[in-house]
Amino acid sequence: MSAAAAVVALVQLVVVTALAPLLVGLMRQVRARSEGRVGAGLMQPWRDLRKLLAKDPVRAEGASWILVAAPVVLLASSLIVAALLPLVAAVPLPLVPNDLFVVVSLLLLGTVAVALLGLDSGTAFGGMGSSRHMTVAALVEPTVLVAVYALSVPVGSSTLALIVRARLQAPSLIAAPVSLIAVIALAIVVIAETGRLPVDNPATHLELTMIHEAMVLESSARDLAWLELGSWIRLASLLGLMGNLLAPWGVSTGAAPLSLVVGVVTLTVKLAVLGAGLSLGEVFMAKLRLFRVPELLAGSFVLAFLAVTASYLLA
């Protein structure tokens, strides 16, 4: 059992790392085509990464070890989450189950690392990005815990792999209204956590509108490469999780090679569909004013809480 789980985790790591830049490339392409442009191509993020790794970093005097360590921590935490979440297969590791709070805490470890990076730069922009980022993270955490809790109620366990398996075996769970409400709340959480519109604009150049970008203004070369890759892997993992919660068919329940291949193919399809959908939605949206974002997050919390109470009172 543990060897199978280890194989699955390794496969997930490799696949998600390979797919994440392609996902971002796809999202940029969809946006470009909507604007009537040709776009840089699916492989452009991989080209950008390769070029970044070949540059010499510039670091200011007085910058501490956090400038070097935070990108590694972010990337490592994103990789662990990608290995733990039920993306290709819903097989939990024996002593490290993909329990709700453990996964959320690992994501938050990466969030904190980037926030400290922003503060360490000693610039006003870094502090501003860090402050806004942590405010959003603080307001998102209750929603994510309560939304996954709502999804765990009909299943009886808060382990994500078991939740996905239960939805695979009983498709009626997916269409239940409480489940849909919880998934909508989770969707808003994913948008806020990964810094997409309408919470944050990843392509902005105006520092006063930045949340995530402001914290990485000081990073260059490989530090920037790890930060970018870490964010992309997070986006891919969370979108993959959303896809598996909405349409779990194709997720493998074991480590048999054929089922893993099927899992990889279906994961690619789900990521492509969700990524393209998200990007297309972003074309029609403008970024929310920063002080309207807590209203959006409070609304998603109310939805999640409604889902939890309804699932108990209706059961």
Partner 1 sequence: MTIRRLAGLIWRTGMIAEVAPPPPGLADTPSTVPAPLAGSLQLRHVDAGSCNGCEIEVSAAFGPVYDAERYGARLVASPRHADALLVTGVVTHNMAEPLRRTLEATPTPRMVLAVGDCARNCGVLAGGYGVAGAVSDIVDVDLEVHGCPPEPDEIVAALRRLTGR
Partner 2 sequence: MSAVQAGLLAQAGLSGAAVVLALVLGTARARATACGTLCALSAGFGVLTGALAVSGRTGAVLVSMALPPGHLVLAPDRLGGVFVVVVSAVMCLVSVYAIGYARTGSTGSRTSWVALALFGLGMQMVPAAADLVAFLFAWELMAVASTALVLIDQARSPAVRSAALWYAAMTQLSFLLVVAGLSVLAASTGSDTFAVMSAGHLSGATASVAFVLLGLGFGTKAGVVPMHVWLPRAHAEAPSHVSAAMSAAMVTLGVYGLVLVCVRLLPAGPSWWGVTLVAFGALSALYGILQASVASDIKRLLAYSTTENVGLMVLALGSSVLLRASHAPAVAGVALVACLLLVVSHATFKVTLFLGAGSVLHATGERDLDRLGGLGPRMPVTATGFAVGSLAAAALPVSCGFVAEWTLLQALIHGARVQDRLVTVVMPLAVAVVALTAGLALLTFVKAFGIGFLARPRSDTAAGARESPAPMRVAMLAGAAVVVVLGLVPGPLGVALARSVGVRSVTTVGLGGLDLPVVGALLDPVALCLVAGVVALPVLVASLALARRHPSRSTVLAWGNGGARVSPRMQYTATSYAEPLMRVFDDALQPSRDVQVTHLAESRYLVERVEYRQHLGDVVEERVYRPVIRLAGRVGMAARHLQNGSIHRYLAYSFLALIAVLVAASL
**Contacted entry of partner 2, partner 1, none for residue 278, CB cut-off 5 to 8 Å set by kind:** none
Q: Are 30 and 280 in contact (CB under 8 A)?
A: yes
Query: Which residue, 5 or 245, has its beta carbon nearer to partner 2?
Result: 5
First to last CA, the chain: 34
**Contacted entry of partner 1, partner 2, none for residue 44, CB cut-off 5 to 8 Å set by kind:** partner 1
Nearest to 77 by CA among 275, 237, 259, 255: 237
Q: Are 217 and 125 in contact (CB under 8 A)?
A: yes
**Contacted entry of partner 1, partner 2, none for residue 128, CB cut-off 5 to 8 Å set by kind:** partner 2
Q: Which helix (H) or strand (E) holds 308?
A: helix 293-314
Q: Verify binding: residue 218, partner 1, rule CB under 8 A.
A: yes
Q: Verify binding: residue 62, partner 1, rule CB under 8 A.
A: no
Q: Verify binding: residue 54, partner 1, rule CB under 8 A.
A: yes
Q: Could you tell me the smallest distance in angstroms from the CB atom of residue 71 to partner 1?
A: 13
Q: Computed from CA positions of residues 164, 168, 169, 174, in that sequence, does the dihedral angle turn out positive or negative?
A: positive
**Contacted entry of partner 2, partner 1, none for residue 175, CB cut-off 5 to 8 Å set by kind:** none
Query: Which residue, 17 or 204, has its beta carbon nearer to partner 1?
Result: 204
Subset of residues 269 to 308 that bind partner 1, contact rule: CB under 8 A: 283-284
Q: Can you state the angle between helices 177-193 and 293-314, rounded to 10 degrees? A: 150
Give the Cα separation of 247 and 244 in Å (integer). Answer: 5
Residues that bind partner 1 (CB under 8 A): 32-41, 44, 47-48, 50-51, 54-58, 204-205, 207, 210, 213, 217-221, 224, 283-284
